[in-house]
């Protein structure tokens, strides 16, 4: 059975520049895909049921975004086929690496083919808005500058960087971070050219570090080797290394109570 890859992402830059009346936050961010993957397998079934092929620890079927995505697609297209979805999980939840969103997007892409729905990518992206703010970028399949609530995407060309990613063994609640009254919600917007010229940072980082000291500890340690910052709302932190060799050396030195990986930046999604 074919394995469908679902890549992780890094937020190379992230600021909250406003908040809508409905509570959604307005962002500016840059999404970078990396070669760190969950793997999904799909076995179609004829009874219309959508099920986990095997349980995911701590994630029920109703919480599994791959299952939710399949059901949304099924309803949208009035498809009578079902599917068993098996996930080999490598991207930790609550790490700010987009694992659940990526799984949802890969599910839409895979089932569009396996169920022979023949939807184009724009229509799949429109469906993906129902599943979360980070899902559309994985459906479109290119590194992107994002604005709005994450749905306004502009392709961006990024250098093929070598990243060290350090993941403390904690689950950060994105909702908790965005609900914090101390969060800066009026950062000054910048242009893509400002980011490419070196403007960066993560506007969620200070709040996350206050609430989750392990994230600050990981930043402090990784900061000994370069410019370290947090991805998304955490808990993962990362830095761009000068070479694959340097990245591998830093990973080898990482304290054993954290999980560290070397990952290369991707120019596009593997199913683009």
Distance CA 101, CA 92 (A): 12
Residue 16 structure tokens: 């909250």
Q: Where in the chain is the domain with CATH 3.30.230.10?
A: 4-155
CA distances from 58 to 61, 98, 168 (A): 10, 17, 18
- What local confidence, expressed as pLDDT, does residue 58 receive? 87
- How big is the chain by its Cα radius of gyration, in Å? 18
Q: What angle do CA 65, 67, 72 make, to 5 degrees?
A: 90
Place of tokens 């830059």: 13
Neighbours of 104 (CB within 10 A): 30
Distance CA 147, CA 137 (A): 11
- What local confidence, expressed as pLDDT, does residue 160 receive? 86
Instruction: For domain 4-155, give the fold.
Output: Ribosomal Protein S5; domain 2 (3.30.230)
Instruction: Show the low-confidence residues of the chain (pLDDT under 70).
Output: none
- 111-158 pLDDT, tens per residue? 999 999 999 999 999 999 999 999 999 999 999 999 998 889 999 999
Question: 129: number of CA atoms within 13 Å, CB side?
Answer: 12
Place of tokens 């932190």: 237
Q: Where in the chain is the domain with CATH 3.30.70.890?
A: 162-264
- 146-167 pLDDT, tens per residue? 999 888 999 999 988 999 999 9
Active-site positions read 9, 134
3-state DSSP of the chain:
CCCEEEEEEEEEEEEEEEECCCCCEEEEEEEEEEEEEEEEEEEEECCCCEEECCCECCECCCCCHHHHHHHHHHHHHCCCCEEEEEEECCCCCCCCCCHHHHHHHHHHHHHHHHCCCCCCHHHHHHHHHHHCCCHHHHHHCECEEEECCCCEEEECCCCCCEEEEEECCCCCCHHHHHHCCCCCCCCCCCCHHHHHCCCCEECCHHHHHHHCHHHHHHHHHHCCCCCCEECCCCCCEEEEECCHHHHHHHHHHCCCCCEEEEEEECCECCCC
- Which superfamily does CATH assign the domain made up of 162-264 to? GHMP kinase, C-terminal domain (3.30.70.890)
Residue 207 structure tokens: 């709040």
End-to-end CA distance of the chain: 20
- Beta strand 82-88 with 50-52 is parallel
């Amino acid at each position: 059975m074919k394995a469908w890859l679902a890549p992780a992402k890094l937020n190379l830059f992230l600021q909250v520049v406003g908040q809508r009346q409905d509570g959604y936050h307005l962002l500016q961010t840059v999404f970078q895909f990396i070669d760190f993957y969950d793997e999904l397998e799909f076995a179609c079934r004829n009874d219309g049921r959508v099920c986990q092929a095997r349980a995911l620890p701590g994630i029920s079927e109703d919480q599994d975004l791959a299952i939710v995505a399949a059901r949304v697609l099924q309803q949208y297209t009035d498809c009578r086929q079902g599917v068993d979805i098996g996930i080999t999980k490598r991207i930790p939840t609550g790490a700010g690496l987009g694992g659940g969103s990526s799984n949802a997007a890969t599910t839409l892409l895979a089932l569009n083919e396996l169920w022979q729905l023949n939807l184009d990518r724009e229509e799949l992206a429109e469906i993906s808005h129902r599943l979360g703010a980070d899902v559309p970028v994985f459906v479109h399949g290119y590194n992107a500058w994002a604005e709005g609530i994450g749905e306004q995407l502009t392709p961006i060309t990024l250098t093929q960087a070598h990243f060290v990613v350090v993941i403390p063994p904690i689950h950060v609640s994105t909702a908790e971070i965005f609900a914090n009254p101390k969060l800066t919600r009026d950062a000054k917007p910048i242009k893509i050219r400002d980011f490419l010229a070196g403007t960066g940072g993560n506007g969620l980082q200070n709040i996350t570090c206050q609430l989750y000291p392990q994230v600050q500890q990981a930043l402090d340690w990784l900061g000994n080797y370069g410019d370290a910052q947090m991805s998304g709302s955490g808990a993962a932190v990362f830095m761009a290394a000068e070479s694959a060799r340097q990245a591998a050396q830093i990973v080898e030195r990482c304290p054993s109570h954290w999980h560290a990986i070397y990952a290369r930046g991707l120019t596009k999604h593997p199913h683009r």
